[in-house]
Amino acid sequence: MDRPAFKCEPLNGATLMNYLEELTDAYPFIGVEYIGETIMGKPICAVIFGEGESEYLYISGHHGSEWITGLALIRFIYELCEAHTVKRRIHGTDTEYLFREKRLVIVPLFNVDGAELQQNGIAENNPLKERILRMNGENGDDFTHWQANVRGVDLNHNYNAGWMEYKQIEKENGIECGCPTKYSGPCPESEPECGYLCSYIRNHNVRSLISLHTQGEEIYYSTLSSCPIGARAIASRIAQITGYKTSAPSGSAAYGGLIDWFISEYDRPAFTLECGRGTNPLPLSDEAKIYFKLRKLLFTFPLMV
């Protein structure tokens, strides 16, 4: 049968399921694991490629308005699966070796509820409708710049890393409750999305991870107080591959993020990549540019760490 080709369209819960159905039908050697579910009961899906013991996590979509990087991961899965099927190397990577020795865990859309709210607005039958509208304040029913989940918690500040320090930053900025961005929640892992992901990592041998965000073409690889052995050299290599620049964490971005928690918990390399340039949300037309800057990295990263 004819194998599928990637078609670029806005990424939300429904389109993600369509992509996953097409991929698993065409490429039975990949799997889909359900890490957990969102507040609204939407599945958080991970595509699994490989049978090795060491796992490498690629994750996108912590922020509702940043779903475009998830499309880059979807495009990567299509290309990876086709290369494995025809036994073709890409950027020197033998996909048969990758499949046999490594295990890629790819989460294209983490904050499904936030992405759907950002794209489609609030549904009339949403039980949280009045609360969400209050949290959106003067923006009314315009959710163009919404980053949080549906409880108004910024998922990339909901991890247990520099928690009390970030709470002080919230206080200084007048953030006291749920809102479109920057509120970390009442306690670490208060949100089911983050709780499920942390539980998954605790129960698996995740050697390293890449968390994709937008925008600025920057690479973060350390916390304020810690840099795992080898992380700086790997970040320099990523910079050479992508053309992005390495940066040190500062301000509110230095607390409560996934890589901050992972580095603090496991002392293993982890990287946040701020993809693309412009003003969030980046337009759908930027997806191909983002992917082709990431392409070599996505194929070679499990061989670096």
DSSP string across 202-228:
HTS-EEEEEEEEESSSEEE---SS---
SS3 58: strand
Query: Residue holding tokens 């194998």?
Result: 3
SS3 66: helix
Sequence letter at residue 77: I
Q: Which of 127, 138, 136, 169 is nearest to 65 (CA)?
A: 136
CA distances from 40 to 44, 190, 194, 280 (A): 11, 15, 14, 24
Q: Which of 211, 149, 157 is nearest to 188 (CA)?
A: 157
CA distances from 103 to 41, 99, 189, 243 (A): 27, 7, 25, 26
pLDDT score, position 150: 97
What is d(CA 106, CA 264) in angstroms, rounded to the nearest whole number?
22
**257 φ, ψ to 5°?**
-85, 165
Q: Which residue blocks in the chain are alpha helix, DSSP H?
A: 13-26, 68-86, 95-101, 112-120, 129-136, 163-172, 192-202, 231-242, 258-266, 287-304
Domains of the chain: 13-115+191-304 (3.40.630.10)
What is d(CA 118, CA 112) in angstroms, rounded to the nearest whole number?
10
The pLDDT profile of the chain, 305 residues, written as one tens digit per residue, is 578 999 999 999 999 999 999 999 999 999 999 999 999 999 999 999 999 999 999 999 999 999 999 999 999 999 999 999 999 999 999 999 999 999 999 999 999 999 999 999 999 999 999 999 999 999 999 999 999 999 999 999 999 999 999 999 999 999 999 999 999 999 999 999 999 999 999 999 999 999 999 999 999 999 999 999 999 999 999 999 999 999 998 888 899 999 999 999 999 999 999 999 999 999 999 999 999 999 999 999 999 99
Encoded tokens for 223:
């916390």
* CB of 144 closer than 8 Å to CB of 95: no
- Would you say the pTM of this structure is higher than 0.85? yes
